[in-house]
Each structure stands twice: as C-alpha cells, then as structure tokens.
Amino acid sequence: MPNEHRVERSNDAKRRGKHGATSGKAISSAGFSLVELMIVLAIVLVVTAFAIPTLTTTIDGVNLRGALGNATTIAQRCRTQAIKRNTYQRLHFATVGNQVALFVTDGTDAAVAPLRTDPTLWAQTWFSNNFSIVGVPVGAGAPPVLTNTLMWGTSTVTLNVNTDPYFSSRGLPCLPVAGAGCSSNGGFVYYYRYRNAGHTRWAATSISPAGRIEGWIWNGTSWDN
C-alpha cells in the first residue's frame, strides 16, 4: 500500500508538471508581437490603396447613372405635359448657383431660375455640385462627341447640341418658331461634365427626332447607355 501511494503521488506530480508547463507555454505565446502587427497594418494599407480607386469609380458610376435617370424622367415628364396640356413645353437646362438644374415650363414662359420649393414649375431636378454644363466635350482626355449615327442610326437629321429642347403637343421634340408654335427640328443632345477626386467624366442626355430619350456615359473607351 505505501508503494502504491508513492506511485500515485509521483503520477500526480507528473500530471501537474505537464499541465503547468502547458499553461506557462500558453501564457508566453498569448497576443501579437510588434512585427506581426506591423505586417498586418502594411497588408491593410496595400489593400486599401487598391480598393479606394475602385470604390471611387463605383460611386462615380452610381452618381452619373442616378443623375441621368433623373434627367430622363424629367424629359419624359416634359413630353407628357405637352401631350396632356395640348401645348408645347420647354425643358430648361440651367446652372443655378453652382448646381445644374433641369425644369419644365410652358413653351411660352420666360426662362426663369427654379426654386426647390417653387410649385408653379411642372417638374424640376437638381444635380450634385460635381456636375456642370460646359458644352461639347473638349480638352485633354475628352471623349468624341455623340453622332446622329451612333445615337439613332442615321446621319440625315439635324442635331441640336446643348440647346434647350421643346416638346410639341404630339410629344415630338421641336424648337419654337415666332408666330408658328413649335416646329419639329431633328434631335437633341445635352452634355454634362462630372468631376470628383481629380477625375473628369462625361455624360449626356439625348432625344431622338421620334421622342426617344436616352442617357449616355463615356466609359473611357466608348459611349455607353
């Protein structure tokens, strides 16, 4: 019996020694070293450097398509009002303060600066401060202009560039004629310049001679809608 007790105590001591060694090892390996933290930080910075340009491009694309969607909607609203009211309507493109604003009035109304709370306008939409209307794309990196053939598959119609479009009571784009209402006069295209984080992008709204309204974005190599 005494020998058995000694053997058990010896085994207990071995187990305690084993557990103690394990616990000490676990404690000594807990946490991260400064070198490990610096490596992780470097990886995060590298990933962020690659991700930010992609994120910016994605946000720019969302903003451009959102603005073009609003422009298409208000142009369609202008066309609908012309048919409903049986009188030609004007879609104004204006810069108010430092923002681009699109709004609809009767064709005979004077061009006035819209107010966000103005109830007398049939419709209005405002772009963010990133947008401006400066005419056809020019300068370094500017895209080629949109052509009749690209937009509508024909080169024989008149193209009105950055000119406020009107819609006749038949819902067709037109231009006013003194004493003769609004006469059909080809199609329209209006360009917007978008700047953000040092980058410049271009977009446009087109209206075909048949009244089809489309938005266009220059993707760096071609016009896309």
Q: Residue 38's pLDDT is what?
A: 78
Longest dimension (CA), the chain: 127
Look at residue 60 in the predicted model and tell me its pLDDT. 84
pLDDT tens column, 97-108: 889 999 999 998
Locus of tokens 């053997």: 7
Residue from 35, 37, 123 nearest 82 by CA: 123
Which spans in the chain are helix H?
2-28, 34-85, 148-152
Residue type, 32: F
Amino acid at 153: G
For the chain, domains (ranges, CATH) are: 57-224 (3.55.40.10)
> Which tens digit of pLDDT belongs to each residue from 126-169?
999 999 999 999 888 899 999 999 999 988 889 999 999 999 99
> What is the pTM assigned to this prediction?
0.74
Average confidence (pLDDT) per 10 residues, the chain, 225 residues: 52 53 52 75 69 66 91 95 94 92 90 76 89 91 94 91 96 91 92 90 96 94 91
Of 101, 103, 80, 100, which Cα lies nearest the Cα of 90? 103
Using CA atoms, how far residue 112 sits from 94, 118, 121, 122, in Å, is 9, 11, 10, 13
Q: How far is CA 6 from the centre of its chain?
A: 81
